[in-house]
Amino acid sequence: MATATFAAGCFWGVEAAFRRVPGVLSTRAGYIGGSVPNPSYEQVCSHRTGHAEAVEVDYDPARVSYDELLKVFWEEHDPTQLNRQGPDVGDQYRSAIFVHDAEQEAAAQASKARLAQSGRFRRPIVTQITPAPTFYPAEDYHQQFLEKQGLAACHL
């Protein structure tokens, strides 16, 4: 088993996308990259903790590669938007790849470079690639949110 961590806006849709990938064993919505230990959703939304909403993905590398997970990440959001995705605005919605080792870092950097050179986006890619600090799982009601509540609940 291996772990990958991605921030691509609201974690609800991102988590659902990764859960559909064959070879993904489990996912967790949560918070990463901030200064407050074990933050709450309300603290993260205050913009004072520095955390991003993220998804931690446990996967079987024999069944799905990290490069395949990167493809899902790039397809699930607009990596040219700084601190926002669609109607969601704030630093907690930033685009980031939190790498767990040198192999992931090299793959993420190469993937980002390929995407930048592809011409798919007119604006520069702002996705951060940084070492993964402590990941804090979000509250239970955020876990598998779309599976429990449906897409209509996303932007109430």
Closest CA to 3 of 60, 62, 74: 60
Is residue 154 annotated as part of the catalytic site, yes or no? no
**Would you say the C-alpha torsion 93, 13, 136, 113 has a positive or negative sign?**
negative
At residue 69, the 3 state secondary structure works out as helix
Catalytic residue, candidates 10, 69, 138, 146? 10
Alpha helices (H) in 30-144, listed in sequence order: 41-45, 66-75, 102-118
Task: Provide the 3-class DSSP secondary structure of residue 52.
Answer: strand
Residues forming the active site: 10
